[in-house]
Structure 1
Amino acid sequence: MSDQDSSSSSSSQTEEELDGEMDEETNGEVEKEESHRDSPAQSLSTFSSSLRAVIRIKQKYQVMKQRRQEMALALSGAGTFPGAPTRTSPKIFTFDGVTPSAFPMLSSSNPQKKKRRRRKRVLFPNRGTCRSPPKQERSRAKYCLYLLFAIVFVQVYNAIENLDDHVLRYDLEGLEKTLRREVFGQQGAVEGLLVHLKDYLSTYVHNKPLVVSLHGPSGVGKSHLGRLLAGHFRSVVGETLVLQYYVLHHCPQEADALQCAGDLSAIISEMVERAEEEEKIPLFIFDEAEHMQDEILDALWTLVASKQSNEYLNAIYLFLSNMGHAHITKHMLHNSSSTSMASGRHSALVKELTPVLRSSLEKLHQLWSEANILPLGLLEKGHVMECFLDEMTREGFYPDHSNIERLAGEIEYYPAVGGHEYSQTGCKQVVAKVNLL
Structure 2
Amino acid sequence: MKPEKRHVLLLWMLLCCGRSGAIEPISTSIAVGMAAALTGFLASYQNIFYYFHECCRPEWIAFNKSGLHADLELKLFGQHIASRIVLKAVSGFMSNNNPKKPLVLSLHGWTGTGKNLMSKLIAENIYKEGMDSSFVHVFTSELHFPHAQQIETYKSELQRWIKGNITNCAQSMFIFDEMDKMHPGLIDSIKPYLDYYDKLDGVSYRKAIFIFLSNAGGIDIIETALEFWRDGRQREEIQLKDLETSLSLSVFNNKQSGLWHTSLIDKNLVDFFVPFLPLEYKHVVLCAMAEMKAKGTEPDQSVADQVAKDLVYFPKTERVFSVKGCKTVESKLDYYT
Bigger CA radius of gyration = 1
Alignment of 1:290-369 (within 5 A): 290-305=180-195, 307=197, 309=199, 311-338=204-231, 341-342=233-234, 344-345=236-237, 348-363=238-253, 364=260, 365-368=262-265, 369=268
**What secondary structure is seen at the aligned counterpart in 1 of 2:125?**
helix
CA positional deviation for 1:222: 1.0
Q: Which residue of 2 aligns with 1:283?
A: 173
Q: Which residue of 1 aligns with 2:320?
A: 421
Higher helix proportion, which one? 1
CA separation in 2, counterparts of 1:329 and 1:183?
18
Identity %: 27
CA separation in 2, counterparts of 1:367 and 1:208?
13
Instruction: Encode CA deviations 1:19-60: one digit per residue, 9 max, x unaligned.
Output: xxxxxxxxxxxxxxxxxxxxxxxxxxxxxxxxxxxxxxxxxx
Q: Which residue of 2 aligns with 1:196?
A: 89
CA 1:395–1:307: 2 relative to 1, 3 Å: closer
CA 1:329–1:242: 2 relative to 1, 3 Å: same
Of residues 256-265 and 377-386 in structure 1, the stretch that sits farther from structure 2 once superposed is: 256-265
CA positional deviation for 1:242: 1.6
**What secondary structure is seen at the aligned counterpart in 2 of 1:312?**
coil
Alignment pair present for 1:172 and 2:172: no
Alignment of 1:9-408 (within 5 A): 169-235=62-128, 239-276=133-170, 281-305=171-195, 307=197, 309=199, 311-338=204-231, 341-342=233-234, 344-345=236-237, 348-363=238-253, 364=260, 365-368=262-265, 369-371=268-270, 372-408=272-308
TM-score, normalised by the number of residues in structure 1:
0.55
CA separation in 1, counterparts of 2:155 and 2:235?
45
List gaps (5 residues or longer) in structure 1: 1-164
Question: Which residue type is aligned with residue 179 of structure 1?
Answer: L
Q: Which residue of 2 aligns with 1:436?
A: 335
Tell me how large the CA RMSD over aligned residues is: 2.7
Question: Which residue type is aligned with residue 344 of structure 1?
Answer: E
Contact conserved, 1:251 with 1:260, CA < 8 A, in 2?
yes
CA separation in 2, counterparts of 1:396 and 1:208?
41
CA separation in 2, counterparts of 1:429 and 1:333?
23
CA positional deviation for 1:233: 2.9
Question: Which residue type is aligned with residue 207 of structure 1?
Answer: K
CA positional deviation for 1:302: 3.0
TM-score, normalised by the number of residues in structure 2:
0.71
CA separation in 1, counterparts of 2:106 and 2:273?
5
CA separation in 2, counterparts of 1:225 and 1:316?
14
CA positional deviation for 1:319: 0.7
Contact conserved, 2:101 with 2:194, CA < 8 A, in 1?
yes
Aligned pair count? Answer: 264
Runs of 4+ with >6 A deviation: none
CA positional deviation for 1:217: 0.5
List gaps (5 residues or longer) in structure 2: 1-57, 254-259
Contact conserved, 1:233 with 1:242, CA < 8 A, in 2?
no
